[in-house]
Amino acid sequence: MKLRSTRATAVVFGLLLSLSGGLLGASASTAAPVKAGMPSSAYSDTFAKKTHNLINAERAKVGARPLAWNQRIANVSQDWANRLGVATKDPGFDFGRIHRPDAGGSLIPSGATMYREIVGFNSTPEQIVAWWMGSPSHKAAMLDSRLTADGIGYVVPTSGPYRGWHLVVSNLAAYSTTVSPAAPAKAPLSPIAAKAASYRGGLGRATSAEVAGLKNRGSYQCYAVGCILYSPASGARLTKGAIRSAWAKTGFENGLLGYPVTDEVTGLRSGGVYQNYQNGAIIWSPRTGGFVSFGGIRSLWAKTGFENGRLGYPTSNEYVTGRGGAVAQNYQGGVIRWSPTGSRVTYK
C-alpha cells in the first residue's frame, strides 16, 4: 500500500506490543535500562511537555489516570527519533520499518508489565495528538487505562521530505508503582538545559531536542534564536545570527575554529561583536559583516590594536596569495600578509 502525506494529515504508523500479550520473545525481567548519556528531550522541553500534557488531557476525558513523565523512557524515545530523523531523509524509506522490532521494549526501564510505541510527523503538539486520536490503534494506545508512564522524544529534520516537521516518538509503559505526574522526577539539568534556563525564555521555543554524537563528545540543541553547543572542553555556548552563519561556512565544530569558548561579546567599536572559538574568533560589525580571525594574522592584528587600531575590522577571510603557504587578510585600513618566512602590515 502506498502512503501519502500532507501537513494537514500527518503520516503516522502505530505498532502496539504488550509484554503480557506474548508477542515478544523478551519478558519484563529482561528489559534493560537505557544507556546513560543518551540524548533526550526533558520534561522542561516545551514541545515534549505540551505533547505529554495533551495526551493526559485526552486520558482525563475517558477517566484514565494521567501518565507520569519517565525520563528513562524519554531517552529511549529520543534515541529512536534521532535514528528516524536520519533514516527518513531517504525518499525511499520503508515505513514498514518505522518502529523498532520490539517497539523499544528491551530498552525501557525493567519492571514494565506492558508497553506501547507510537510515532508521528506533524508541526505542533496539538496536530500530533489530534492525529493520534483520529487513528483507532493510536487512540487505543494513548488511552489504555493500564498505562502509568510515558516519555517523548522528537527531532526536526533539516533536510529531506519531512524537513521542518516534528518527528515524534512516544513510548508508554505500565508499572506497578510510578512517579506522580504532578511532580515528575527531576533529573539533573544537562549543561545545555542549564544554559538555556539561564536565558529565562529568551531563546524562544526549542526547535530540536538535545542531539549528541558530535566531535569530542559534543552535543547541541537549537532554539528559535540560535543553537547551544556543548563539549566538555569548551562548555555550553550560544551561537546565533551572522556569527553563527560565518562559523557554519568553516564547518561548525569540525572546521578550523572548533567549538565556541565564549558567547557573543558586544560593545565593540561601531557596534561590533565577536565570539571566541578554540582556534580563533569571528568578528562582526554592521558595516563589514562577520569574518574569521585566527593564527599568525590574528596575532599581528592584535599587535595593531584589533578593531580599535588603524586597520579596523576585517573585511575578508584569509586567502592564499602564493606558494608556500602565503596568505593575506583584508581590513578596513589595509592588509595583513603572512607567510612562514615572515609577516607584514600594509596600510591604505
Q: pLDDT per residue over 192-206, tens digit each?
A: 999 999 998 899 988
User: Band of the pLDDT at 207, cuts 50, 70, 90?
Assistant: confident
Q: What is the pLDDT of residue 42?
A: 62
CATH code for the part of the protein at 12-174: 3.40.33.10
Closest listed residue to residue 120, CA positions, set 6, 1, 3, 10? 10
Q: pLDDT per residue over 271-294, tens digit each?
A: 999 999 999 999 999 999 999 999
Buried b (16+ CB within 10 A) or exposed e, 207-230: bbbbbbebeeebbbbbbeebbbbb
User: Band of the pLDDT at 94, cuts 50, 70, 90?
Assistant: confident
Give the distance, in angstroms, between the CA of residue 335 and the centroid of all CA atoms in the same chain: 39
Question: Does the pLDDT of residue 260 top 90, yes or no?
Answer: yes
User: Band of the pLDDT at 144, cuts 50, 70, 90?
Assistant: very high
The pTM for the full model equals 0.51
Mean pLDDT value of segment 138-167: 89
The phi-psi region of residue 234 (left if phi > 0; otherwise alpha if psi is between -120 and 50; otherwise beta) is alpha
Q: Which of 18-27, 34-43, 176-185, 317-326 has the highest mean pLDDT?
A: 317-326
User: Band of the pLDDT at 217, cuts 50, 70, 90?
Assistant: very high
